[in-house]
Amino acid sequence: MSSMELILAQPRGFCAGVDRAIEIVERAIAQFGSPIYVRHEIVHNRYVVDDLRAKGAVFIEDLAEVPRGSTVVFSAHGVSQSVRREAEQLGLLVFDATCPLVTKVHIEVAKMRREDREIVMVGHHGHPEVEGTMGQSDLGMYLVETVEDVINLKVKDPHKLAYVTQTTLSVDDAAEVTAALRARFPDIVEPKRNDICYATQNRQDAVKFMAPQCDIVLIIGSPSSSNSNRLREVASRLNVSAYLIENADALDPAWLVGKRRVGISAGASAPEILVQQLISRLKESGIASVRKLDGVEEHVQFPLPRGLGGNEERGSSISTHDSVNSN
Ligand code: SF4
């Protein structure tokens, strides 16, 4: 095993939306004291959630669990309009950690609805981002995951349709599904810019570049993390053995037998410390060298909400997203 080489994807790990969401919870705890309630896992990573819980965050799924007058943070995945209304009715102080790139999709939905279009969402059933985005439309939306779903889709008026997508889809799968939508509904209105976010795109591109150089790819991320699962799939589709692991403890040494080049990346919600722990563990197994690949350097930052040291206004962050997605 001593001739084994470790290859690190660039970029990997935290995106700007995750950085911001974690900072919102930390600042809310510092400013208002614990407990700070957080609706749903702030980001889909066990390490992050456990760390914030230890600092005073209380994670809940239903706002009914939050005592009146408390402070609540909405997770990076976003929430439906009905959850916003419920928070208002309960008199909760809300800090919204919805990623501005998810908010951009919500704003698109509102515009499409004003044009009286029915909306198709391309996304994964049951994912909180999908629930939040679908909950932006008073009359609901159609959810499609696959080309087959598109074939079976029944709409009221094929000439009054629009679509949006989840931000963390497989770029390749989404391209197939949206091509099927355009083929079946030629008048369908597309999002102004791709809804798949810069972080998802960059991390998938980086794994596509890395995987052919590897005998095995390890992705650090939680099983509930959509973008982390997609990274594993990207490597796997290039016929490289690929595993999604929560941390170094989940590494099975048997996977490494006969492997000379081990590629590592991490989902957008996975902290770099977990990557470093995995590298240390692999070094104990006799990794000879570590090679960091070249890739996109990201300099994206999102403003914090007003009231937590930032001056974000709902509209002001949109120009930031647009320039981000045009990268
Ligand atoms: S993965 Fe993309 S959409 Fe999700 S939090 Fe990060 S930047 Fe925002």
Cβ–ligand 1 contact at 16 (below 6 Å) = yes
Mean pLDDT of 34-57: 98
Strand order in the sheet with 118-122: 142-144, 118-122, 161-165
pLDDT-based confidence at 263, cuts 50/70/90?
very high
Alpha carbon separation from 106 to 67, 85, 119, 267 (Å, rounded): 28, 16, 12, 23
Helix, strand or coil, per DSSP, at residue 244: strand
- Residue located nearest, by CA, to atom 5 of ligand 1: 17
Give me the amino acid identity at 106: H
Question: Which residues on adjacent β-strands are paired with residue 163?
Answer: 120
Are residues 220 and 278 in contact, defined by beta-carbon separation less than 8 angstroms? yes
Cα 37-41-304 angle, rounded to 5 deg: 70
Task: Report strand pairing: 93-96 vs 142-144.
Answer: unpaired
Q: Is 115 a catalytic residue?
A: no
Cα 286-249-59 angle, rounded to 5 deg: 150
Q: What is the pLDDT of residue 311?
A: 65
pLDDT tens column, 153-204: 999 999 999 999 999 999 999 999 999 999 999 999 999 889 999 999 999 9
Cβ–ligand 1 contact at 166 (below 6 Å) = no
Q: What is the pLDDT of residue 287?
A: 80
Mean pLDDT of 117-130: 97
Are residues 191 and 178 in contact, defined by beta-carbon separation less than 8 angstroms? no
pLDDT tens column, 292-326: 999 999 999 999 999 898 666 543 333 333 334 33
State which ligand 1 atom lies nearest to the alpha carbon of 18.
5
> For the chain, which domains are there?
5-14+198-292 (3.40.1010.20), 16-99 (3.40.50.11270), 101-184 (3.40.1010.20)
Query: For residue 43, which of 171, 168, 205, 148 has the smallest C-alpha distance?
Result: 168
Q: What is the pLDDT of residue 312?
A: 65
